[in-house]
Amino acid sequence: MLAIFDLEGVLVDGEFLPELAKLKGIEDRIWDITLKGIRGEINWEDGLRMRIEELKGASYSDCVNISNSLRLMPGAKEVCKALREMGFMLASVSGGFTLLAERVQKELGLDYFFANELVFVADKLNSVVIRVNSNKANSIQGLVRALKEPKEQIIAVVDGANDLTLFELAGLRVAFCAQPVVESNADVVIKNKDLRLILPHIRRYINNLENNGIIIKKYR
User: Shortest CA distance to 159 belongs to which of 32, 73, 100, 42?
Assistant: 73
Higher pLDDT, 2 or 220: 2
pLDDT confidence bin for 74, thresholds 50/70/90: very high
The percent of residues in the chain predicted with pLDDT above 90, rounded, is: 79
- The full DSSP string for 44-103 is HHHHHHHHHHHHTT-BHHHHHHHHHHSPBPTTHHHHHHHHHHHT-EEEEEEEEEHHHHHH
pLDDT band at 69 (very low <50, low <70, confident <90, very high): very high
Average pLDDT, the chain: 93
The reported pLDDT for the residue numbered 83 is 97
Distance, in Å, from the CA atom of 156 to the CA atom of 176, rounded to the nearest integer, reads 10
User: Quick one: pLDDT at residue 113?
Assistant: 97
Mean pLDDT along residues 134-153? 92
Ranges 41-45, 64-68, 80-84, 124-128: which has the least confidence: 41-45
Q: What is the pTM of this model?
A: 0.93
Helix axes 27-38, 16-24, angle to 10 degrees: 160
Residues 97 and 117: beta-carbon distance below 8 Å: yes
CATH 3.40.50.1000 fits domain 2-13+71-117+131-211? yes
Domain boundaries, the chain: 2-13+71-117+131-211, 16-69
- What's the pLDDT score for residue 31? 83
Whole-number pLDDT of residue 106:
96
The answer on pLDDT for 89 being more than 70 is: yes
Greater confidence (133 vs 199) lies with 199
Distance CA 38, CA 41 (A): 8
pLDDT by residue (tens digit) across 151-207?
999 999 999 888 999 999 999 999 999 989 899 999 999 999 999 999 999 999 999
Q: What is the pLDDT of residue 38?
A: 64
* Cβ proximity of 43 and 36 under 8 Å: no
